[in-house]
Amino acid sequence: MPLSISHYELIAYLCGKIFDPMHTIPYGRQHITQSDIDAVIATLQSDYLTQGPAVDAFEQAFAQYIGCRYAVAVANGTAALHLAALALGFAKGKRIITSPITFSASANCVLYGGGQIAFADIDRQTYLIDLNQVESLLKQGGYAGIIPVSFAGYPIHAQDLHYLADRYGCALLEDACHAPGAWFSDHAGTRQMSGNCAYTDAAIFSFHPVKHIACGEGGMITTNREDIYQKLLLLRTHGITKNPQLMQQPNEGGWYHEMQILGFNYRMPDILCALGTAQLQRADENLLRRQAIARRYYAELSDTPLHLPTQAPADQLHAYHLFIVETEQRKALYDYLRQHQIFAQVHYIPVHTMPYYQALGFRRGQFPLAEDYYAHCLSIPMYHSLSDDEQSYVINTLHRFFELS
């Protein structure tokens, strides 16, 4: 055995019979560098742990990265969905459409405010919400908004959605949790970043450790609309404003503030915002790494029975939050990978099949493409710090599964 062979190549060489039981390869994970740690420590030693300058700095850096006017940092992606839904009036008496293939928070956020959710089935190739399905719902009338998801990192075509939404008087809230850095080209040929809100009213992101930018917890709402922005600032902090220009009653002194609407404490602390700003410095580099990992999967898994994800056309950029393969043997493959310390995951169990949604009246069989997708899908490891050796091990293990089966 040549000494230069790596740990994982050795493992692969020994046909997966020996492995380090302490080392697992998840489907996604964070990457923390010394500069991240330094940024957090500096904030811990500063005057503000929350409501300080690191929040503004992160918001500004993020808005610049995405290319939108306003960014509002909040406690997590779900809080971002909640507040954006409220700010857009996706609440009591309103019916809103989303995809059944998403994290349940994309739908839950409408229910928080007393609104109703409807699902439109997916496009079986891209796994994104199918615009034809959306349109047939809209034709029935009575819908106030759409929450499209740039699923797995494949950007929604926000302009096409905008045409639809406009025609039927709907607002658009993009769930861009999977897609920071993704872009599509609009019909004029201009690159539009996911979540830049050029064709939507607002978008949201999450900084959970499995996402591109990892803060532990955290979220961001982006918008180009001043009215939405002001509403979000109020909603994030109890509905309280200290801005003298916005007071509705006479100012009674330096302490004076007003609670004007029913809001929440959904703030993101400075400690986490500093981590976010540090992480954001490496966003482009990390995106390139994710693309390289995807290219290698396409090249080295093409001879397996796996169905590999549809690649975005040349005028779009897939951000590869997830790398989803499809197989008839999903359960067996999931179990086999797990035995070999590879923790693949299923994204997602269709929201409408969850017990809570079944109790609301949704039925199995209602969105057959989403359900067929769910029966086959598996997210294999995809994160920017996945090493070449680790990826070799994943690829070899996948090959071995199909050799044995």
Structure tokens at 224: 């180009």
Distance CA 11, CA 9 (A): 5
Among 102, 241, 391, 396, binds ligand PLP (CB under 6 A): 102
SS3 of 229-276: the string is: HHHHHHHHECCEECCHHHCCCCCCCCCCCEECCCCCECCCCHHHHHHH
**Strand-pair partners of 258:** 241
Among 82, 94, 95, 208, binds ligand PLP (CB under 6 A): 208
- 87 near ligand PLP, rule: CB under 6 A: no
Distance CA 107, CA 332 (A): 30
Give the nearest distance from C-beta 32 to ligand PLP in angstroms.
17
Question: Which candidate, 151, 22, 98, places its Cα nearest to that of 357?
Answer: 98
- 178 near ligand PLP, rule: CB under 6 A: yes
Give the nearest distance from C-beta 348 to ligand PLP in angstroms.
8
Segment interacting with ligand PLP, rule: CB under 6 A, options 174-182, 184-192, 270-278, 372-380: 174-182
Name which of 367 and 393 has its Cβ closer to ligand PLP: 367
Segment interacting with ligand PLP, rule: CB under 6 A, options 49-57, 71-79, 110-118, 285-293: 71-79
Give the nearest distance from C-beta 194 to ligand PLP in angstroms.
12
Distance CA 214, CA 39 (A): 14
- 105 near ligand PLP, rule: CB under 6 A: yes
Integer angstrom CA distances of residue 62 from 44, 101, 256, 345, 372: 21, 27, 31, 29, 36
- 353 near ligand PLP, rule: CB under 6 A: no
- 271 near ligand PLP, rule: CB under 6 A: no
Among 59, 175, 201, 270, binds ligand PLP (CB under 6 A): 175
Residue nearest to ligand PLP (CB): 77
Distance CA 379, CA 392 (A): 16
Segment interacting with ligand PLP, rule: CB under 6 A, options 99-107, 182-190, 274-282, 302-310: 99-107
Name which of 54 and 105 has its Cβ closer to ligand PLP: 105
CA Rg value for the chain: 22
Among 43, 78, 200, 279, binds ligand PLP (CB under 6 A): 78
Give the nearest distance from C-beta 31 to ligand PLP in angstroms.
17
CA 379 to chain centre: 14
- 77 near ligand PLP, rule: CB under 6 A: yes
Question: Which candidate, 274, 297, 306, 374, places its Cα nearest to that of 27?
Answer: 297
Cα dihedral 245, 76, 216, 176, rounded to 10, equals: -110
Give the nearest distance from C-beta 271 to ligand PLP in angstroms.
16
Segment interacting with ligand PLP, rule: CB under 6 A, options 72-80, 239-247, 294-302, 365-373: 72-80
- 147 near ligand PLP, rule: CB under 6 A: no
